[in-house]
Amino acid sequence: MKYRVKQIDYKEIIKDIAPADLKALAQAKERMDQLVKPLGSLGKLEDISIKIAGITGNVKNKLEKKCVVIMSADNGIYEEGISSSPKEITLLQTINMTKGICGIGVLSKASGSDLRVVDIGIDSDYENEKIVNAKIRRGTNNFAKCPAMTITEVELAINTGISIISDLVEEGYQIIGTGEMGIGNTSTSSAVIMALTGATANEAVGRGGGLTIEDFEKKKKILENALILNKPDKENPIDVLAKVGGLDICGLVGCFIGAAFYKVPIVVDGVISIAAALCAYRMNNNIRDYMISSHISKEPAFIVAENEMALAPMLDMNMRLGEGTGCPLAFSIIDLACSVMNNMATFSEVSIDTEYLVDNRK
């Protein structure tokens, strides 16, 4: 059954996305600084719990209902032979995700998270009721030869992402992770980040799943040429996405917009996710207030985007599987961050003589 995208147009909501709740942020910071520990000594656990307060508007939070959204799509750039895996993997692994036997399936379950697997552009027709059929088209065009897709398709994919987040919020989910499956999507992500930032191929292209040196050089050349051919407007993320993006990235852009609109924290995980996050950020800087970054990716384009947004990833895992596999790890740490805010005593609550503890805060 085809997914029905809700009547939510990103153009109508994007300008209304507000920054984090300044009052809740201030109250959360105030409480955090009263807890029995030296100021700032719990580092990113403090930052995360305060950020979440700013998102939800409440100082104390318990984010029990978690979901990782997987956007799956094929990419026309695959034709250029610069991916280390065959294209059929996109569908096969998307199906495996619904069986809970691949990386994201296992890690989600172990961390108490659900998965929402969305076909937003797999180049194949099949029947699987566990996969949301929100296919915009069967894969994109090869952007080495022409634009990847039309503006209308980009917009529909973004609105689909927002609609999926709207569903999840209605179902009671309190935190969202971003995952993907799409052979060729490190190429599209690098191209999007290069187009938005002006980074060169040497600065922003990695060896992906395991390219040879020759194929790596070829990948850089193809991406550089594609940008020359398509001339994406670096000030216009929609134009960049249409020319050198992918449907998975567009869907994730919608997820970031939707999470900010509905005020739920959303985890940025890996280079494809951060390419989408950067597009959303460029459309409205406030959206960054709703993002939490999981692990440091070794993909060079990730670092370029991270340098602009300064999201400060919490994990250093050498992970490069993708699929959103860093999200369940981040969920676990975020839960612990919230427990600090919720359950540590303040100096004034400690019944024993607190004079020394107050001194300790100097």
Answer yes or no whether residue 321 interacts with a second copy by CB under 8 A: yes
Q: What is the DSSP string of 195-233?
A: HHH---HHHH---TTT--HHHHHHHHHHHHHHHHHH---
Answer yes or no whether residue 314 interacts with a second copy by CB under 8 A: yes
- Residue span binding a second copy (CB under 8 A) among the ranges 39-47, 67-75, 132-140, 254-262: 39-47
| Among candidate residues 334, 351, 138, the one with its CA nearest the CA of residue 246 | 138
Comparison of 199 and 319: residue with beta carbon closer to a second copy: 319
Q: Which of 13, 33, 34, 36 binds a second copy (CB under 8 A)?
A: 36
Answer yes or no whether residue 214 interacts with a second copy by CB under 8 A: no
Residue type, 319: M
Comparison of 84 and 141: residue with beta carbon closer to a second copy: 84
Comparison of 166 and 354: residue with beta carbon closer to a second copy: 354
Residues 78, 87 contacting (CB under 8 angstroms): yes
Q: How many residues does the chain have?
A: 362
Cβ at position 296, least distance to a second copy in Å:
7
Q: Which of 25, 32, 37, 77 binds a second copy (CB under 8 A)?
A: 37
Cβ at position 97, least distance to a second copy in Å:
10
Answer yes or no whether residue 325 interacts with a second copy by CB under 8 A: yes
Q: Is residue 323 annotated as part of the catalytic site, yes or no?
A: yes
Comparison of 82 and 319: residue with beta carbon closer to a second copy: 319
Comparison of 106 and 146: residue with beta carbon closer to a second copy: 106
* 266-268 and 66-73 strand pairing: unpaired
- DSSP E strands in the chain: the ranges are 66-73, 113-121, 132-133, 175-181, 266-268, 291-293
Within positions 340 to 359, which residues make up the interface with a second copy, using CB under 8 A? 340, 343-345, 349-350, 352-353, 356-357, 359
Within positions 98 to 117, which residues make up the interface with a second copy, using CB under 8 A? 99, 101-103, 106-107, 109-111
Catalytic residue among 80, 153, 306, 323: 323
Q: Is 168 helix (H, G, I), strand (E, B) or coil?
A: helix
Phi, psi of 329 (to 5 degrees): -65, -45
Torsion sign over Cα 66, 266, 12, 304: negative
Q: Provide the β-strand partners of residue 213.
A: none
Torsion sign over Cα 45, 48, 52, 54: positive
Answer yes or no whether residue 182 interacts with a second copy by CB under 8 A: no
| Among candidate residues 96, 103, 105, the one with its CA nearest the CA of residue 128 | 96
> Catalytic residue numbers?
323
Which residues are near a second copy by CB under 8 A?
A: 36-38, 41-45, 84-86, 88-89, 92-93, 95-96, 99, 101-103, 106-107, 109-111, 209-210, 296, 313-322, 325, 328-329, 332-333, 335-336, 339-340, 343-345, 349-350, 352-353, 356-357, 359-360, 362
